[in-house]
Structure 1
Amino acid sequence: MPKVSVIIPVYGVEKYIERCARSLFEQTLDDIEYLFIDDCTLDKSVEILKRVLEEYPHRKSQVVIHRMEQNSGQAKVREWGMRNARGEYVIHCDSDDWLDVHMYEEMYNKAIEEDADVVVCDFCSTDCENEQYSKGLISKERENVIADILLWRIAGCLWNKLVKRKEYTDHDLNYPTHNMGEDAALIVQILWNAKRISYLPKPLYYYYTNPTSITKDVTDDKIRQHFLQATANVELIEQFLDGKATGKITDALTKYIFEQSYLIVSLAMKNKEDLSIWRRSVVKIRSRVYKCSYLSIKNKLVFYFLLFKSVI
């Protein structure tokens, strides 16, 4: 059994895969399984990956390159990886990012030392010119961690969280099927079940913020698509936390739903059909918004204005 399995989706990253792969193959932890999952990429990402691998012959036996039968999206790709990983611990890596060469050794050692189910590290967001440091945790107490994710105080991502594989296999997890907010939908479930969460306060992961990937010309259809995908993953979180959540998490979840609904507010303001879509997504929290301590008075006024507008 490898100490760590790393799951790396591959799609459209020919400009970045070499940087990512080298940072993975140069890890100081020797006993690693690498699961590169080709989501039917149309570029030369896999070809470049294989070329880089030739320079690391000692890693060849540790590498799996799997091709999905059809383009399935990151949520399904990651699910395949999690169901096929063999490591004692599992972590994810985005193929346009890179990491400190000591990352997995330090995180694994921390996990063993503290018998942790989850180990979280800090990270840097960077466009290769500027860096922004982000703390991975504020509190190690389970309910605080979940609330902090729902409040966007910390990142609800998978790539800076080393998770004991038993946390995937020993619990009946609901895997996300949509690609907006899928990390948070899964990590909330994992954290809820985790008995011990450890923290490594070092920026070991580098999250690449590609300045060319964000366009100002976002179509209305794309906004709707993103909103509906995000809503599906919010519902997954709600279903999982139903009957479990405390007041703190309930309030945080209310704000999370409120903020996700803002993905479509610009359309809802001018289009009755989109207003109806918005209403269906938020009507369940209408009685919780006015007493939610995390929402401002302005937030609440806008919310109830739109709610009123949607029924006249």
Structure 2
Amino acid sequence: MHYKVSVIVPIYNVRDYLARCVENLMNQTLREVEYIFVEDCATDDSYQILMDTLARFPHRRGDVRVIRHEVNKGLTMSRADGLDVAAGDFIIHSDSDDWTDVTMFEKMYDKAVSDGAEICICDFFHVRKDGLKRENVTLDCRKPHKEFMRDYLSYLWNTVWCALVAREVYERSGARPPVGITFTEDFYLMVRLFQFARKFTKVNEPLYYYNQMNSGSIMHSLMKDLFPQESDCYERTIDWFKGLGVYEDYRKQMQWRLLKSSCYLVFQNRFDELREFHPESHRYILSVPSSLFNFKVKVMMILAFLDLDFICRWDNKRHGRF
């Protein structure tokens, strides 16, 4: 079969969520979908749950490929292994503790084709204990490429799972999931894809359910472990923009990103590190948009840069942060 869409799903210790994820994928209204599940040496019974769930959808059997790692490689390498075998005209990712609307791939594929776009994005739901919260992706796909990229670099939700991307864009850009980064890895990949895509479009519906109740998710890890990965991601991206000769187009937005990555230092009383971390970025603090961090963080950073960090220490102590 000629596949319109390939979906790549890494799997690792998601036994409580996997069946729902797989069921919604198998029930997609678009018929020409290739499903690539990458089982990354789970220590629970995720693999058996996957196989048991797939067995209930015999009509999809020929569309499913299961890759099993002999050693744990991590999320980004699992995605990369899925990309190596993806044959669809468009590629999208899904995390195995989340789930999709069953019309998601059909609506996004049809929109991309009808608009002649190489990337189609959509809104999504945050799944929380208090219910669903819709995230309206505010990016304007009609803007000129450079203006869109500036907006995208300033936007918080740079996710792979709400972006249907033409396989040709992967091939043209050479973009791959990053090695050694497990936080902001979506930003790393998607920025490179958007930079090389010729046209974007959007489905103005929430079609993906982002599960924030999985305590095993990377989003629940300690920030002290994530700060160096986030800053490394942005530093690599700056170097990549410089290699393309376009860094000056995005200098301000990437300095904002560096400031965002250093927010953690403010709340850990690590003010000497903060002052030494990319001093060029300090001049951009007043212009950082609220989408990246709030006004209070901005004030605390300014106090630290003015060597008035004793105020920040007092506030951190008062709120029990440190």
TMscore range, shorter length: 0.7 to 0.9
Match of 2:209 in 1: 206
What secondary structure sits across from 1:237 in the alignment? helix
Cα offsets for 1:67-87 (capped at 9, x unmatched)? 223212211211221222111
Give the AA of the match of 2:66. Answer: I
* Secondary structure, aligned partner of 2:110: helix
| Distance in 1 (alpha carbons) for counterparts of 2:38 and 2:202 | 28
1:41 aligned onto 2:37: no
Q: CA deviation at 1:11?
A: 0.7
Change (3 A) 1:303 1:31: farther
Note the alpha carbon deviations across 1:20-75, whole angstroms, 9 max, x for none.
00000000111111111111111111100100111100111111111223212211
2:184 alignment counterpart: 181
Distance 1:250 1:294, change over 3 A: farther
Give the aligned partner of residue 169 of structure 1: 171
Provide the rounded CA distance (Å) in 1 between the counterparts of 2:28 and 2:13.
24
In the aligned structure 2, how far is the partner of 1:263 from the partner of 1:165? 36
Amino acid at match of 1:226: L
Structure 2 residue matching 1:104: 3-state secondary structure: helix
Q: Residues 36 and 65 of structure 1 are in contact (CA less than 8 Å); yes or no, is this contact kept in structure 2?
A: yes
Shift of 1:241: 2.1
1:55-134 equivalences in 2 (<5 Å): 55-127=56-128, 129-134=130-135
What does residue 241 of structure 2 align with? Answer: 241
Q: Please state if 1:159 is matched with 2:154.
A: no
Tell me the C-alpha RMSD between the 2 structures: 2.7
Quote the residue 1:143 is aligned against: 146
Work out whether residues 303 and 309 of structure 2, in 8 Å CA contact, stay in contact via their aligned partners in 1: no
How many angstroms does 1:246 deviate by?
5.0
Question: What secondary structure sits across from 2:134 in the alignment?
Answer: strand
Are residues 191 and 44 of structure 1, via their aligned partners in 2, closer, same or farther at CA, if it must alter by over 3 Å?
same
Helix, strand or coil for the counterpart of 1:30? Answer: coil
Q: Deviations over 1:224-267 (max 9, x none)?
A: 321111122112221222231455x3222211110111133333
> Tell me, which stretches of 5 or more residues in structure 1 are unaligned?
none
Distance in 1, Cα, partners of 2:306 & 2:41: 45
* Matching residue's letter, 1:58: H
The answer as to whether partners of 2:158 and 2:187 remain within 8 angstroms in 1 is yes
% identical equivalent positions:
28
Q: Distance between the aligned counterparts of 1:136 and 1:290, measured in 2? A: 24
Instruction: Kindly provide the amino acid, as one letter, of the partner of residue 39 in structure 1.
Output: D
Unaligned 5+ segments in structure 2 are 311-322
- Residues 227-306 of structure 1: matches in 2 within 5 Å? 227-242=227-242, 243-245=245-247, 249-267=250-268, 269=269, 275-276=272-273, 278=274, 281-286=277-282, 288-289=283-284, 292=287, 294=289, 298=299, 301-302=302-303, 304-305=305-306
Cα distance in structure 2, aligned partners of 1:196 and 1:97: 28
Q: One-letter code of the match for 1:2? A: Y
**Contact preservation (8 Å) 1:24, 1:99:** yes
Change (3 A) 1:291 1:123: closer
Structure 2 Cα separation of the partners of residues 68 and 226 of structure 1: 25
3-state SS of the aligned residue for 2:158?
coil
Letter in 2 for 1:73: G
- DSSP-derived class of the 1:250 partner: helix
The change in CA–CA distance for 1:290 and 1:159 in structure 2 (over 3 A counts) is closer
